[in-house]
Amino acid sequence: MTFVHKKIISALLFIGFTLIILTESVINSYASDNDTRPPQSLYAQYAALVDGENNRLLYGKNADKKVPMASTTKIMTCIIAIEYAPLDLKCETSSYASSMPEVKLHASKGEIFCLKDMLYSLMLRSHNDTAVIIAENVASYYLTRKGEELPDSSQELVSVFTGLMNQKAAELGLCSTYYITPNGLDAEDSNGIHSTTAYELAVVMSYCIKNDTFLKITQTHDYSFSSNKRSYSVTNANTFLNMYPGIISGKTGFTAQAGYCYVCAYKDDDRTLIAVVLACGWPYNKSYKWSDCKKLLDYGRKNYTRQVLLRSDDKPKKISYNSGYSSYEIKPQPDISDDITCLLCSDDKVNIVYSYTLPDKSGGITAGDLIGNIDIYINDGHYKSVALKSDINIPEIDYRYYFKFCINSFFVKYSDNLSTKNN
């Protein structure tokens, strides 16, 4: 083989390998853009992707496992403060609050702040002493408004506040969330450990983002404020706000037991998605939570679109009703003012079932009475019920009805007989 032949063969081999690499690259790129599989290789031990409009779980990894949640706790602390106290409430620092461990504002005993400023300190920098300052002062305000006596200790005031946090969790239907501290530090008492699940944390965030004040605080990048002693400046530690377009809120967290944690909310014209990762690495894995949440949100955006399940102007089929003496035609009226929608993927199966519960023949019906339901199922799980109401009045078969019926029948029969005689 000549030198020229060797050169030609080498060139051909090089071109061939290059084409193979380019082809694989194109294939892999295409697969990435069109991959409908759930997120692969998450670092987080517990994760959830939830539809923020209705709290439907779109993806879960051990999403119902009860575990510590670190400073993601503070989203509940924030919303309780917003709902139970005025933002201009003056908050005094106790010695108990100033004793909290890092990360902290380093507020000194007797230092006075505005509650609004404390909420920025809480959510932007996750200060542990700030959480206790908020808890004590909001609890004092709450008890005073109720006319109740204030407890003697800071710890008791904090317990009152965490009681409000647990009360809110119960109102949201959360069965596996238990708050002991307002800052999320690892804690345990006779009722269990300070903990939640990935799914229930998503539900809390879904609730919080409906509050404009909460959103404004958590979307702020930099904030400055002053106490009665000095000035402060805080910068938002939620760097995912700038990393992923569409993020509208989020909160980080870390403790030795919880590991790195993160919950965030994403919104576009079609979707509101809540992503949660818990136990997402330990030092030095601080960035894992960002990559995991990107995978979760990418999956949701690629695979789930908002679809109409039931239109507000849809008209169910007419149903016949026989009272025993008369027949009626009822046009069932769905009790909805807006279209019922849901985020669905290509694998989701929707089933809509109409059921009716009409009274017996002697019973009457008033327009607006419940006569049935429309039940919507997604993948055999119940999603939503819509009441069906009557559009007409149907008289009850009682003695008055019988009397009128007999009188009418008599006159009809008399009239017929009279007509027959005249003919």
Helices (H) and strands (E) in the chain, counts: 11, 19
Lowest mean pLDDT among 28-32, 338-342, 387-391: 28-32
Who contacts 123 (Cβ-Cβ below 8 Å, separation ≥6)?
74, 75, 78, 217, 218, 251
- The answer, yes or no, to whether residue 9 has pLDDT greater than 70, is no
What crossing angle do the helices spanning 115-125 and 212-219 adopt, rounded to 10°? 50
Please give the model's pTM, rounded to 2 decimal places. 0.83
Q: What is the pLDDT of residue 19?
A: 40
Answer whether 135's CB lies under 8 Å from 77's CB: yes
pLDDT-based confidence at residue 34 (cuts at 50, 70, 90): low
What is the per-residue pLDDT for 408?
Answer: 59
Looking at the chain, the whole-number percentage of residues with pLDDT higher than 90 is 73
Q: Does 28 score more than 50 pLDDT?
A: no
At 412, is the pLDDT very low, low, confident or very high (cuts 50, 70, 90)? low
Going by C-beta distance under 8 Å and a sequence separation of 6 or more, which residues neighbour residue 420?
none
Which pLDDT does position 117 carry in this prediction?
98
The CB density around residue 235, as the number of other CB atoms within 10 Å, is 11
Give the pLDDT confidence score for residue 15 in this predicted structure: 44
Amino acid in the structure at residue 154: S
Of 380, 378, 387, whose CA–CA distance to 54 is shortest? 378
- pLDDT value, residue 416: 56
Share in percent of the chain as helix, strand, coil (round to 5): 40, 25, 35
How does the average pLDDT of the chain come out, rounded? 88
CB 118 within 8 A of CB 176: no
> Which tokens go with 420?
């027959």
Q: Return the pLDDT at 421.
A: 57
Interval 43-71: pLDDT, tens: 999 999 999 999 999 999 999 999 999 99
**Range in 146-150, 287-291, 314-318 with the lowest mean pLDDT:** 314-318
> Does the pLDDT at position 89 exceed 80?
yes
Kindly state the average pLDDT of the residues 202-231: 98
Q: What is the mean pLDDT of residues 374-402?
A: 83
**pLDDT confidence of 10, banded at 50, 70, 90?**
low
pLDDT at 397: 64
Domain 309-398 class? Answer: mainly beta
Q: Residue 62: how many CB atoms within 10 A of its CB? A: 16
pLDDT of residue 38: 81
Question: What was the pLDDT predicted at 16?
Answer: 46
According to DSSP, residue 221 is labeled S
Considering only 28-32, 134-138, 379-383, which range has the smallest mean pLDDT? 28-32
pLDDT in tens, 324-341: 667 888 899 999 999 999
The pLDDT value recorded for residue 23 is: 36
| CA dihedral over 208, 213, 214, 219, signed as positive or negative | positive
Residue 177 scores a pLDDT above 80: yes
Fold of 46-303: Beta-lactamase (3.40.710)
- pLDDT above 70 covers a percentage of the chain that reads 83
Comma-separated ranges of CATH 3.40.710.10 domains in the chain:
46-303
Residues of the chain with CATH 2.60.410: 309-398
Tokens representing 59 are: 């993806």
pLDDT higher than threshold 50 for residue 3: no
Q: Which residues pair with 250 in a beta bridge?
A: 264
- Quick one: average pLDDT of 367-380? 92
Cα 56 to Cα 381: distance, rounded to the nearest angstrom: 11
Quick check: 239 and 245 in contact, CB under 8 A? no
Give the Cβ contact number of residue 242 at 10 Å.
10
More confident: 361 or 112:
112
In this predicted structure, the answer to whether residue 413 has a pLDDT above a threshold of 90 is no
pLDDT of residue 119: 98
